[in-house]
Amino acid sequence: MAKSLTYKILEEHLVSGKLEPGNEIGIRIDQTLTQDATGTMAYLQFEAMGMPRVRTKLSVSYVDHNMLQSGFENADDHRFLQGIAAKYGIYFSRPGNGICHQVHLERFGVPGQTLVGSDSHTPTGGGLGMIAIGAGGLDVAMAMGGQPFYIMAPRVVLVHLTGSLPPWVSGKDVILEVLRRQTVKGGLGRVFEYGGPGVENLSVPERATITNMGAELGATTSIFPSDERTREYLRAQKREDVWRPLAADPDAEYDEVMEIDLSTLEPLVACPSSPDAVVPVREVAGTEVRQICVGSCTNSSYYDLTLVASVLKGKTVCPGRSMTVSPGSRQVFAMIARSGALADLIEAGVRILEAGCGPCIGMGQAPPTGAASLRTFNRNFPGRSGTPDDQVYLTSPGVAAATALRGVITDPRELGDLPRIELPQEFLIDDSMIIPPSDKPEEVEIVRGPNIAPLPLAEPMPEEIRGEVLLKLGDNISTDTILPAGAKILPLRSNIPAISQYVFNYVDATVPQRAKQAGVSMIAGGANYGQGSSREHAALAPMYLGVKAVFAKTFARMHHTNLINFGILPLRFVHDADYERLNPADVLEIANVRQAIRDGTQITVRNITQGYEFTARHDLTPRQVEIALAGGLLNQVRSSQS
């Protein structure tokens, strides 16, 4: 049967399960990546598994998120990560070398291979023709240990591209258009596979912008074919040897098809505060903006930054506006320094930040109260920037540059001709900031700062769950709401007792204390609960506080898995009316829960406070039922070892 590229690669890596949409499959993982904010936990978990060395073809540990060292915590974590990498066979990308996804694309990605990363934007690698999937740290730790990675075999959507992009319209606008049509819920259980004659008109960095922000659809991943453009890019990275041509069979059948004629697109913007609130830039043109930020793993390539520099050259950022640029990698940084683009940015009054995530994850540059901020990033969930009432707009670098000049949202087509920028024939190759693993692992000392707390484990699932509903939330609650990031909270990622004090901090700061008082508790949400990041802390910290079940209309993929991995039961409301009827602070009871989740998918829940029963549903596979009963994956792994 003629196959999609997605299914070809999955088939090559299939270890268990039937490769048909809706079945759980296990796949072999070639590469893993971690970043520091999720990596410390992932490596504590890997250590707990007792393996001497990783079993992947390649594993890389990046430091790019927790870069602001306002206390000892982050520096201690970086040192811990470096020791772990040396000892267990992992490459270590030092702080300053860049954002994991950008560096991985440049230096490590291989067409046709599988990559799992403890970061939701791991699908960036799909720009090179990889099956690259984001996951919680524990799943990445398992993959490092040579275990299969489990997903539901996806439905595949062909995004059929024709034509070529008009001037000032970019890869960012392609993914914003997909988000406009599909919304942040539209990708659940799906892979977006790009194809058609328009593909060859997109460079690898543009493709990577598209697959990167496919994460905002809630998709399992996104992928492009590996073609002559891929080869060109890899050649310019002096890695042509890893290239191989990859495409879907010509008559492949897809579950869905979406048509995009690139030549009809225009500059788009996602308005506050959701990546799918997309409108043409011209509709919001004239809106005053106080801050412009260029960078993040979505838009920080050499082309992106050079375009911004070309627009700003010889001019000054509009008075009263703050503009920052954070290069995606040291390669990009060094190249714009050599080309002179960096000088143009500095002379224009841009505030240059180091190569890393920076403002994208609230590591500094929180915008002023009540003011709009325009960013080339991928997420604008409420409060993510660090300012509670933030109004963040997401756009392409071209729109950002035009807006920086005028101080109001500006359609860059008003600036006239698009500056001509050639993609480099050769990138600057210098891997000296990537430290290979030690060949004498027994001599490596792992230094643990006082911020690195021992791993908490959940109890096995009890016979009965009876607890209070701590919060009732609406649709599309992101993990940034469940457990915020930012400069204050991120440094506590290796310390679950400490970070658990910030669970739902910006919704209701009394949650941690109420949870502790209640002993056992639950949370209720609407559709697409837990969208956004891969951070397993959004499950680990609630678990630590005694949360035993989360009820929602639907769950985002990674958070659903993370809840199960840490012994929290995700349950769906079968009828929306049951969601409506529930009140916060109601006490719910699930009797014989161990038996119930084994016997079937329907669970009877008693609302003790209001005196009625309703049916909820679990979507756990038989493998996941066993994990849930054990009180999480780590418990299960440990008991299988003893």
Angle at 557 between CA 19 and CA 265, to 5 degrees: 90
Q: How far is the CB of 390 from ligand MIC (least distance, A)?
A: 15
* Structural tokens at position 629: 């009963």
Query: Closer CB to ligand SF4, residue 4 or residue 300?
Result: 300
Does position 107 interact with ligand SF4 (CB under 6 A)? The reply is no
Please check whether residue 70 is in contact with residue 487, taking contact to mean a CB–CB distance below 8 angstroms: yes
Does position 87 interact with ligand SF4 (CB under 6 A)? The reply is no
296 binds, among ligand SF4, ligand MIC, none (CB under 5 to 8 A by kind): ligand SF4
Known active-site residue 379 = yes
Binding mask 289-318 for ligand SF4 (x = CB under 6 A): -------xx---------------------
Identify residue 216 by its one-letter amino acid code.
E
Query: Closer CB to ligand MIC, residue 298 or residue 306?
Result: 298
Identify residue 494 by its one-letter amino acid code.
S
Does position 122 interact with ligand SF4 (CB under 6 A)? The reply is no
Among 33, 54, 99, 265, binds ligand SF4 (CB under 6 A): 99
Q: How far is the CB of 360 from ligand SF4 (least distance, A)?
A: 3
Where do we find the tokens 């892979």? 191
The span of 50-58, 198-206, 357-365, 576-584 binding ligand SF4 (CB under 6 A) equals 357-365
Query: Closer CB to ligand MIC, residue 136 or residue 398?
Result: 136
Q: How far is the CB of 275 from ligand MIC (least distance, A)?
A: 11
Catalytic site residue from 119, 276, 304, 578? 119
How many residues bind to ligand SF4 according to rule CB under 6 A? 11
| Distance in angstroms (rounded) separating the CA atoms of residues 209 and 34 | 19
Where do we find the tokens 């994208």? 360
Strand partners, 157: 192, 256
Query: Closer CB to ligand SF4, residue 119 or residue 173?
Result: 119
What is residue 454's DSSP assignment? P
Identify residue 119 by its one-letter amino acid code.
D
Please check whether residue 537 is in contact with residue 483, taking contact to mean a CB–CB distance below 8 angstroms: yes
Does position 361 interact with ligand SF4 (CB under 6 A)? The reply is yes
Among 204, 248, 252, 357, binds ligand SF4 (CB under 6 A): 357
| Distance in angstroms (rounded) separating the CA atoms of residues 85 and 54 | 10
Strand partners, 314: none
The span of 6-14, 353-361, 417-425, 491-499 binding ligand SF4 (CB under 6 A) equals 353-361
Among 119, 193, 276, 480, binds ligand SF4 (CB under 6 A): 119
Strand ranges across the sheet with 149-152? 14-16, 24-27, 149-152
Known active-site residue 535 = yes
Query: Closer CB to ligand MIC, residue 406 or residue 506?
Result: 506
534 binds, among ligand MIC, ligand SF4, none (CB under 5 to 8 A by kind): ligand MIC
* Distance, C-alpha 94 to centroid of its chain: 20
User: For residues 343-362, b (16+ Cβ closer than 10 Å) or e, as one string?
Assistant: ebbeebbbeebbbbbbbbbb
Q: How far is the CB of 35 from ligand SF4 (least distance, A)?
A: 6
Catalytic site residue from 30, 64, 139, 578? 64
Known active-site residue 65 = yes
Please check whether residue 291 is in contact with residue 285, taking contact to mean a CB–CB distance below 8 angstroms: no
Burial status of residue 596 (CB atoms within 10 A of its CB: 0-12, 13-18, 19 or more): middle
Known active-site residue 118 = no
Q: How far is the CB of 101 from ligand SF4 (least distance, A)?
A: 6
Does position 36 interact with ligand SF4 (CB under 6 A)? The reply is no
Q: Which of residues 55-84 bind ligand SF4 (CB under 6 A)?
A: 65
Angle at 227 between CA 223 and CA 229, to 5 degrees: 100
193 half-sphere exposure, CB direction, 13 A CA radius: 30
Does position 135 interact with ligand SF4 (CB under 6 A)? The reply is no
End-to-end CA separation in angstroms for the chain: 45
Please check whether residue 149 is in contact with residue 10, taking contact to mean a CB–CB distance below 8 angstroms: no
Q: Which of residues 517-576 bind ligand SF4 (CB under 6 A)?
A: none
Q: How far is the CB of 534 from ligand MIC (least distance, A)?
A: 4
380 binds, among ligand SF4, ligand MIC, none (CB under 5 to 8 A by kind): none
Establish whether the linkage from the previous residue to 322 is cis, with ω within 30° of 0. Answer: no
Query: Closer CB to ligand SF4, residue 376 or residue 607?
Result: 376
- The closest of 371, 403, 431 to 239, measured between CA atoms, is 431
| Distance in angstroms (rounded) separating the CA atoms of residues 573 and 200 | 44
Where do we find the tokens 């457990």? 483
Q: How far is the CB of 103 from ligand MIC (least distance, A)?
A: 14
27 binds, among ligand MIC, ligand SF4, none (CB under 5 to 8 A by kind): none
Does position 490 interact with ligand SF4 (CB under 6 A)? The reply is no
Among 210, 360, 461, 487, binds ligand SF4 (CB under 6 A): 360
The torsion region of residue 197 among left (phi > 0), alpha (psi -120 to 50) and beta comes to alpha
The secondary structure element, H or E, covering residue 479 is helix 479-482
Among 118, 378, 500, 531, binds ligand SF4 (CB under 6 A): 378
Taking residue 184's Cβ as centre, other Cβ atoms within 10 Å add up to 26
Taking residue 318's Cβ as centre, other Cβ atoms within 10 Å add up to 18
Phi and psi angles of residue 211, each rounded to the nearest 5 degrees, phi first = -70, -35
Query: Closer CB to ligand MIC, residue 493 or residue 572?
Result: 493
Query: Closer CB to ligand MIC, residue 90 or residue 409?
Result: 90
Does position 175 interact with ligand SF4 (CB under 6 A)? The reply is no
Please check whether residue 596 is in contact with residue 628, taking contact to mean a CB–CB distance below 8 angstroms: no
Known active-site residue 413 = no
Known active-site residue 533 = yes
Residue ranges that bind ligand MIC, judged by CB under 6 A: 37-38, 65, 119-121, 134, 361, 379, 485, 532-535
Does position 480 interact with ligand SF4 (CB under 6 A)? The reply is no
76 half-sphere exposure, CB direction, 13 A CA radius: 16
Query: Closer CB to ligand SF4, residue 490 or residue 620?
Result: 490
Query: Closer CB to ligand SF4, residue 226 or residue 380?
Result: 380
38 binds, among ligand MIC, ligand SF4, none (CB under 5 to 8 A by kind): ligand MIC
| Distance in angstroms (rounded) separating the CA atoms of residues 588 and 551 | 11
Catalytic site residue from 301, 533, 559, 618? 533
| Residues tagged active-site | 64-65, 119, 379, 533, 535
Instruction: Name the residues that contact ligand SF4, by CB under 6 A.
Output: 65, 99, 119, 121, 296-297, 357, 360-361, 377-378
